[in-house]
Amino acid sequence: MGLLYHNVEALVREHLYRPISGRVLMIGRQTVYFTPSQILKFLSDSGIRHKPFEEADLEIDRSTQARLTGTENKDFITDAALFRLLGVPQILALDRTDYEGAEIVWDLTKRIPDYLSGFADFIVDGSTLDNIFDPAMAIRNFAEMLKPGGRLLMTNMYSNNYAPYAILPPLWYLDYFVVNGFTDCKIYILVSPELEDYSDLETIYNKTNVFTIDLDCLLDSQRSVSPFVASRVMVTIVFAEKGPQSTSHVTPVQQHYRSSADWQRYRENLQLIIKSPRPHIVRSLGGMSLSDVRGGHLFIASDFSARDPESEIRRQ
């Protein structure tokens, strides 16, 4: 899947909130859908004071495969070049094989070796859990590979487009990070048009609606979060931050089957996430076009504010 506008903006927003440093681990080499001139302008407009790179200094991606149709011949920058612009000195990639130049070869459906435990300060995954048979083991491995204070940004399909092997609902991610005591977790649902040609990426970005889970619904025993349903292409972007007491081995129980004790522990941990001062890092660039949004979700507007969908429809 790679890193498109919303992914890169999420990284930049997070970097502005708390600078990304230390060891960044890419789960597979990532296509970054920005040319040198585009990324330099984007970072400048975002307020990132990068080192004085010229366009010619930025490495062009010649190794990633399976790009979006219509972008195959564009000179995009490498994932390593993106993070060097943010001042990160060490960028490594982990993959099941070394076919795209990964420095670490490991199958994430198997428990990681000890040397990878607490290995990474920041992990970026551009579509792994939707492409493997055992996503639960992979997400446990991600959590285990993070240092305390480490952060994770991952993107996966949430609709049956582009041949996913697994489709994981937003609550699947949230519940895992809540019960394992992560200090922050933000879940975004991107609803985009389905196209055969992606040469005009800007149009796609502007037509993509972004939603998030209304966490207050999960604190109220009289409310619940409904399944998010749409007939368009859906993707999840998940951000999580590991705390000093966070675990990786606790298995969540789906909301419909939790005992009173399960809910009490869940809500106690969820309060920690709700109290996080971190602003939203993903947004819609245009107005809300999806009119039928089920309960328990909020629309993320272009100013990064989370709004009630029904109120947003009446505003437009």
Q: Tens of pLDDT along 160-193?
A: 998 999 999 999 999 999 999 999 999 999 999 8
pLDDT of residue 314: 66
What is the enclosing helix (H) or strand (E) of 38?
Answer: helix 36-46
pLDDT of residue 199: 77
Q: What is the CA radius of gyration of the chain?
A: 19
Confidence of residue 208 (pLDDT cuts 50, 70, 90): very high
Phi first, then psi: give them for residue 228, nearest 5 degrees: -90, 120
Share of the chain above pLDDT 70, in %: 97
b/e code 231-267 from CB counts within 10 Å (16+ = b) = ebbbbbbbbbbbeeebebebebeeeeeeeeeebeebe
Cα 226 from Cα 133, distance rounded (Å): 26
Confidence of residue 316 (pLDDT cuts 50, 70, 90): low
Q: Tens of pLDDT along 87-106?
A: 998 899 999 998 888 999 99
Give the three-class secondary structure for 140.
helix
Q: Bigger pLDDT: 84 or 89?
A: 84
**Amino acid present at 153:** L
How many Cα atoms sit within 13 Å of 278 on the Cβ side? 24
Q: Tens of pLDDT along 272-284?
A: 999 999 999 999 9
Across residues 300-306, what is the average pLDDT?
97
**Range of weakest confidence among 41-55, 110-124, 251-265:** 41-55
Q: Tens of pLDDT along 33-77?
A: 999 999 999 999 999 876 667 777 799 988 888 788 888 889 999
Cα 201 from Cα 191, distance rounded (Å): 14
pLDDT of residue 89: 84
